[in-house]
Amino acid sequence: MPGRYVALGDSFTEGVGDAHGYLPNGVRGWADRVAEGLARAEPGWQYANLAVRSKRLRHVIAEQLDPALAMDPTLITLYAGGNDVMDLGTTVQEILTQYQYLVQRLAHSGATLVLFTGYDVEVTPLLGALRRKNHAYNRGVRLMAEKYGALLVDYATFGEYANKRMWAPDRLHMSKTGHKHLAAKVLELLEVDHHIAVKHMQQPPRPGIRAWALEHYVWLNDWVLPLLGRKLRGTTLGDSLGPRWPQPVRVPPRKGLRKLARISAASTTGG
């Protein structure tokens, strides 16, 4: 029986790294693909995605929790806390306290709840100290999934994500391939048949010293320095953005959400 799927969180669930010209906020992502997979398997599913890049747990609680519950969902996915883990000065205890509040409220809704651990992204050895914090966060997520009867996507254990092709140029967000692979994992956890082709990929060849230096320079210039600048200014990439699908939409079983986006674009331009 079709239901209503609501996705909550930050850039991970918004779809950053999986660019798409027609879709809201210019991205697609694994959650859209899960919604489309549900609708293909059983037409009639509705979908809302409240996730916005850069959001912390406090923002998800204040901006997404009540609107999500008001939609009377039958399926909820929650990934949140990764930005809090990366923030300096936050403690695992306070992160998990906020996370548990979210999980408890969502679990009591009666919807099927799906949680995610966080992957250890090999960005740079300079961020190695954050890995212990992420491991403690993941232990807490696993315990809460068990306590509240949630399904768990143990993303941290997915060895295939050691492949650089799974990651976008910023090295923090999944690439299109990474999002597709995760969508397949979620649908399989939900025991939904899907047609997402997940191919085994070889690691890209190791660059020479000069190529590695250039690649690292571009990464620092294009991604790290702008990130540090935003932190100094107290701004984020999500400040001017809203949720991609703020109200439940009926997902077309054929051509999916891209069909809705094209119809919306055509009506806006008068085409």
Give per-residue pLDDT as tens, 2-47: 999 999 999 999 999 999 988 999 999 999 999 999 999 999 999 9
pLDDT at 222: 67
Average pLDDT over residues 79-103: 94
Q: What's the CATH class of domain 4-204+241-269?
A: alpha beta
Give the contacts of 145 (CB within 8 A, at least 6 positions apart): 115, 151, 152
In this prediction, residue 270 has a pLDDT band, given cuts at 50, 70 and 90, of: low
Q: Count CA atoms within 13 Å of residue 257 on its CB side.
A: 27
pLDDT band at 128 (very low <50, low <70, confident <90, very high): low
pLDDT at 62 over 60: yes
Beta 46-49 vs 245-250: how paired, if at all? antiparallel
Give the residue, 197 or 113, on which the prediction is more confident: 113
Angle between helices 30-41 and 176-189 (to 10 degrees): 40
Q: Between these two residues, 62 and 222, which has the higher pLDDT value?
A: 62
Tokens of 140: 């807490």
Q: How far apart are the C-alpha atoms of 157 and 144, rounded to whole Å?
A: 17
User: Which has the higher per-residue pLDDT, 190 or 86?
Assistant: 190
What is the rounded (10 degree) CA torsion for 259, 265, 270, 271? -50
CA distances from 82 to 9, 72, 168, 199 (A): 10, 26, 17, 27
**What CA–CA distances, in Å, run from 140 to 9, 157, 175, 202?**
17, 15, 27, 33
Mean pLDDT of 49-56: 97
CB atoms within 10 A of CB 242: 11
Q: What is the pLDDT of residues 245-257, one digit of tens each?
A: 999 999 999 888 9
Task: Supply the DSSP string of 120-187, one letter for each residue.
Answer: -----GGGTHHHHHHHHHHHHHHHHHHHHT-EEE-GGG-GGGGSGGGB-TTSSSB-HHHHHHHHHHHH
CA proximity to 82, closest of 1, 174, 168, 210:
174
pLDDT, residue 229, reads 73
- Average pLDDT of the chain, as a whole number: 89
Summarised one tens digit per residue, pLDDT across range 225-268 is: 777 777 777 778 877 899 999 999 999 998 889 888 876 665 55
User: Taking residues 198-210, what's their average pLDDT?
Assistant: 75
